[in-house]
Chain A
Amino acid sequence: MNRNLQLTADGKLHHLLTLDGLPARILTEILDTAESFVSIGDRDVKKVPLLRGKAVFNLFFENSTRTRTTFEIAAKRLSADVFNLNISTSSQNKGETLLDTVANLSAMQADMFVVRHASSGAPHLIARHVAPHISVVNAGDGRCAHPTQGLLDMFTIRHYKGGFHNLRVAIVGDVLHSRVARSQIHALTTLGCPELRVVAPKTLLPRDVESMGVHVHHTMETGIKDCDVIIMLRLQNERMQGDLLPSAGEYYKNWGLTPDKMKLARPDAIVMHPGPMNRGVEIDSDVADGKHSVILPQVTFGIAVRMAVMSMVAGN
């Protein structure tokens, strides 16, 4: 299989499926392009005509509020025509296959699919089967990738820290089930972050996670010590009590980010979270709303980053 399914023959971004294997020049180009879109949100007329006349289909096979909304805002600010399909409640329930759904929507003259799916690799499958002029943007697939989230996190880090080359970054929580963590890890290792840590109990880490270029820590005491950036992951409700963890309370006590534990990090550390947050489970409200938190700016930057991605793939 072609690892560069995402790139055109001359090396430009055509689909955005995963950050795994994307070269640093493309990641940087996306961040730079996003930079130019940030100020649009402050204008009276929040629109540019880059995608005028293009049909963007938001195909959400799995529920989402924030991601779908920010993709919709981004597409509309680029003047695209946006169609939202909540497929978990329509054709898939009638037995239509994923590829049939995509073929039908392609027949409606789609130019871009923004896809969220519960199965890892679903956007890859779609990208392999769509007509060459159609671009696929992954809005989260299974546990595999959430590339625009990873990119907006990089944008946020670059915004507050100026770059990646001198940073100590910790990703804390359920890495095993997290597509966000995987995209962050690929982006940070590609962009040259010298020390990337994952912090979690063994039950929430993939067996060979070190092979992705991270250092493994099992306690917050060592894990976030002297970190410049702390990224907290969401703990899904269904995983709080079971064979991976005994209780939300024990999790909070050991791996929740509290003002006390924040003292271990660098004084100017930033705290990030992809949302939605479980206050009192993975993060204390005092930290989530405190001076280190950049959680709301992440959301704002998300629009600019998604505009950058959509304008780039549509242009290539």
Chain B
Amino acid sequence: MKIHIKNGRIIDPASGLDAVQDVYLAAGRIVALGQAPADFHANAEIDAAGLVVAPGLVDLAVRLREPGFEYMATLESEMHAAAAGGITSLACPPDTDPPLDEPGLVEMLKFRAKNSPGPRVYPVGALTWKLKGERLTEMAELTEAGCVAFSQADCPTVDTRVLLHALEYASTLNLPVWLRPEDAHLGKGGVVHDGIVSARLGLAAIPVPAETVALATIILLVRETRARVHLCRLSSRAGVEMVRLAKADGLPVTCDVAIHHVHLTDMDVADFNANCHVTPPFRSQRDRDAIRQAIADGVIDAICSDHAPVDDDAKEKPFQESEPGVTGVELLLPLTLKWAREAGLSLADALAPITCKAADILGVDAGRLAVGRPADLCLFDPDATWMVSERSLLSLGKNSPFLGYEMQGRVRYTVIDGHIDYKAN
């Protein structure tokens, strides 16, 4: 398959390239920019006039809900939704049922994903058996089966000694560990940020120290073990500042934030909007502003969708009983563009946290638009506006706090491995 993409505005965040040029794809690779290579006969042509041609997006947290939660969404539905969101590589957390703690489960997931259209799927294995935080998983075996990192998903480790040993073992094998900092006790039972909204609505709170206490523990253990740790879903200003210091100290840590935390605060929870029930919780405006700044100045490396499709039955409950999570693969791009517009950043800077910087954390060859790189591309109209609605979202999860919002920026084509995987109607 050879594709000629013409007249598009090429943006490669890694190199800073931003120019109108043609792109030539062959055998799953980008073979040329600008001039066609000799003897290039395209099977397909895409006229990208008015479109941005960017590297395909890399999303560090997409729940495909398989195995175990097929009543919420299916691998096929969410892979398709992700492609429609311009995502060409995704990492899926191990919080399936059963969790991804055995090579067989990982191989099955990889097999299912490979035989389905859509993005490349990179499973994140469970750090401990059943995510219970007690017994280490067979990390070497799981890596062989296809895991790119190890995590506890949203299950905090209670026992600090187990965490220390997990980091020691992972660093022995030079495997990255992804941890969402949350103290198991301080966060227990809470559903919203400990602030004005929890005081008013009488909802059980998750205080900021639930994040910072866990972060302090993790950072001290990284200092001890030198394990490569990626910190997931920061939510607080204090947390961001701790990571800033850890990085300045030269510790091998990276971090990400979920795109909804870039835009929303605990005020959005009122009155009991279960679509704003998310872990970690939306925090104060100060926290949100610190997160926005930290992405711009690079303390936060990547932005992910933290995609968690949830069925209506699980959301249409009193807030504290509702299932946490936000559907997000289709909003990662427009919400990132919105942040960048508001922050006055260039398109290249806007795209870096959802392309090359995310790919570096994932440790795979993705997120770059250059000759020789995989032909994974996202072509979007940066000016097109559209309304987020249950109908406009392809994900089976309609649980978005942005329902009714107008988005600017819409994916027109998603090219994966040199094939047009998604084309907007």
Contacts and interface: CB of A to CB of B under 8 A. Distances in A.
Contacts of A48: none
Nearest to A146: B202
A181 to B, nearest CB: 9
A120 B202 contact: yes
A60 B418 CA distance: 60
B201 interface: yes
A142 B189 CA distance: 14
B173 interface: no
Given A117-B318, A119-B318, A206 B272 contact: no
B105 interface: no
- Scoring A117, A143, A208 by chain B CB atoms within 10 A of each residue's CB, the highest score goes to A208
Interface stretch (A80-88, A121-129, A227-235): A121-129
- Scoring A121, A125, A212 by chain B CB atoms within 10 A of each residue's CB, the highest score goes to A121
A177 B321 CA distance: 17
Interface string A180-210: 0010000000000000000000000011110
A141 B203 CA distance: 10
Contacts of A129: 316
A121 B318 contact: yes
Given A1-B272, A124-B271, A206 B199 contact: yes
Interface in A1-29: 1-3, 5, 20
A272 to B, nearest CB: 20
A97 B195 CA distance: 30
Given A1-B273, A5-B271, A212-B199, A207 B205 contact: yes
B195 A207 contact: yes
Contact of B202 (A125, A145, A211): A145
Contact of A211 (B196, B207, B317): B196
Contacts of B273: 1
A98 interface: yes
A120 B321 CA distance: 10
Contact of A208 (B196, B203, B317): B196
Measured as residues with beta carbon below 8 angstroms from the partner, the interface class of chain B is 20 to 34
A290 to B, nearest CB: 31
Given A1-B273, A207-B194, A120 B319 contact: yes
Contacts of B194: 206-208
Interface in A42-100: 97-99
A116 interface: no
A151 interface: no
Nearest to A119: B318
Nearest to A2: B271
Contacts of B199: 206-209, 211-212
B313 interface: yes
Contacts of A168: none
A308 interface: no
B323 to A, nearest CB: 13
Nearest to A5: B271
Contacts of B272: 1, 120-121, 124-125
Contact of A119 (B198, B200, B207, B319): B319
A121 B271 CA distance: 8
Interface string A109-123: 000000001011110
A97 B202 contact: no
B285 interface: no
B318 to A, nearest CB: 3
A182 B271 contact: no
A121 B313 CA distance: 16
Contact of A121 (B196, B207, B319): B319
Contacts of A2: 271
A79 B51 CA distance: 68
Nearest to A118: B318
A97 B318 CA distance: 10
A145 B200 CA distance: 9
B183 to A, nearest CB: 14
B27 interface: no
B201 A121 contact: yes
A212 B198 CA distance: 11
B33 to A, nearest CB: 48
Interface in B244-282: 270-273
A137 interface: no
B203 A143 contact: yes
Contacts of A99: 316
Given A1-B273, A5-B271, A125 B200 contact: no
B317 A1 contact: no
A144 interface: yes
B293 interface: no
Interface in B189-240: 194-196, 198-205, 207
Given A3-B270, A121-B201, A129-B316, 12 more contacts: A97-B313, A120-B272, A120-B318, A124-B271, A143-B204, A177-B202, A182-B202, A206-B199, A207-B199, A208-B194, A211-B199, A212-B199
Interface of B: 194-196, 198-205, 207, 270-273, 313, 316-321
Interface of A: 1-3, 5, 20, 97-99, 117, 119-122, 124-125, 129, 141-145, 177, 179, 182, 206-209, 211-212
20 contacts: A1-B273, A98-B318, A117-B318, A119-B318, A120-B318, A121-B201, A122-B318, A124-B272, A125-B318, A142-B320, A143-B202, A144-B201, A177-B202, A182-B202, A206-B198, A207-B205, A207-B207, A211-B195, A211-B196, A212-B199
